[in-house]
Amino acid sequence: MKLSKLKVALTAGIAAAAISTSAAAVDFSGKTIEWIIPFSETGGSAKWANFFAPLLADELPGNPTVVVKFMPGAGSTKGANWFQDQKHNDGTLLFGTSGSTQFPYLLDDPRVRYEYNDWTPVMASGTGGVAYLNAEDGKKFDGSANNLQGAEFIYGSQGATRLDLVPLLAWKMLGLNVEPVFGIKGRGDGRLMFERGEATIDYQTSSSYLKGSAPLVEAGTAVPMMSWGALNANGEIVRDPTFPDMPTFKEVCEATNGCETSGDTWDAWKAFFVSGFPVQKLAFLPTGTPQDVVDAYSKAFDAVRSRADFPEIAAARVGKYDVFVGAGATTALKTATSVPESAKSFVKNWLKEDYGVDLSQ
């Protein structure tokens, strides 16, 4: 899908969503729904699910209890492989993914044994991301990375094939010397490394930044560097609506010597940014879920996003981003799991050269 058509397609998907009245026959009274998140309880996905869970419970027929449970491991691959083997039982299992689940799938990671097309998306939402520096190096940041190119940074990472490839490639483009420490189970664990002084540069998705990192900025122990940005209707990177006063990576790149916003490297970075952030988190029902159950969930998530107070409470907890349901969620999934072959090839070569990760088939 061309970038210029992304926003239009997603918006059209929302408008085309037709939620069947058969959902009214579904009743979850007295039941508990388990929402499995394949990350630790400290990261952005946890905050996203914990935000939506009670709202979903209020809108599903019968008002069931929605409990968020965590299954971290292998950068979310463990949980996604587990979910692949689950079949519909009674509509009480929901699964949440993020870009860190999408990227190994896109890159043909041999550890991936899950197939997105087997699952049924019932909700998708975008997010953003913010990179920030320790206080000492933050004093050198002037809107460009020119004064930071001689410094050495440590970064707590889930893995180079996960969503972390977006910041890792961005920092390389800026000429920064960033040494990743791989193996953390969630971005929140990376923030904790930063708080303890074990890491000197970090990034968080919007929900985790708002909850856990913004207080570090207020305390003066962290300095915001940039957001990844957002997409406008023409597929152009603009400032993130949740952080309108913060420069985007594109702006910082344009101000930094040697960083280019055109060419193969930029095209690859942008392709994975588009896959990983404008449609960053998705909620799925397992294989074989009947249409009436799917419709019940779609209707419930539609009611959540239609609440009069939703824009306000979402802005404070998860940021100002679109929420897609029904046909819109299906369209969003296609965007999230599609990147040009040229971008895949570039990223695979970069991963092999810089991190020794060989994903060739």
pLDDT tens by residue, 248-272: 999 999 999 999 999 999 999 999 9
Phi, psi of 319 (to 5 degrees): 100, 175
351 domain residue, yes or no: no
- Kindly state whether residues 47 and 172 are assigned to the same domain: no
CA proximity to 43, closest of 166, 215, 192 = 192
185 domain residue, yes or no: yes
From CA 307, how far away is CA 218, in angstroms rounded? 31
90 burial type by CB count under 10 A (0-12 exposed, 13-18 middle, 19+ buried): exposed
Last residue of a domain, one of 275, 300, 322: 275
- Kindly state whether residues 166 and 262 are assigned to the same domain: yes
63 domain residue, yes or no: yes
354 domain residue, yes or no: no
Q: Residue 294 sits in which domain range?
A: 3-127+278-341
CA proximity to 82, closest of 106, 110, 114 = 114
- Kindly state whether residues 63 and 161 are assigned to the same domain: no
CA proximity to 294, closest of 150, 68, 88 = 88
- Kindly state whether residues 198 and 87 are assigned to the same domain: no
b (16+ CB within 10 A) / e for 45-79: bbbbbbbbbebbbebbeeebebebebbbbbbbbeb
In single-letter form, the type of residue at position 313 comes to I
Interior CA angle at 209 toward 239 and 73, to 5°? 120
- Kindly state whether residues 33 and 90 are assigned to the same domain: yes
- Say which CATH number the domain at 210 has: 3.40.190.10
pLDDT tens by residue, 209-252: 999 999 999 999 999 999 999 998 888 999 999 999 999 999 99
Total tally of structural domains belonging to the chain: 2
- Kindly state whether residues 74 and 157 are assigned to the same domain: no
- Kindly state whether residues 7 and 121 are assigned to the same domain: yes
pLDDT tens by residue, 305-347: 999 999 999 999 999 999 999 999 999 999 899 899 999 999 9
From CA 4, how far away is CA 16, in angstroms rounded? 20
pLDDT tens by residue, 123-179: 999 999 999 999 999 999 999 999 999 999 999 998 999 999 999 999 999 999 999
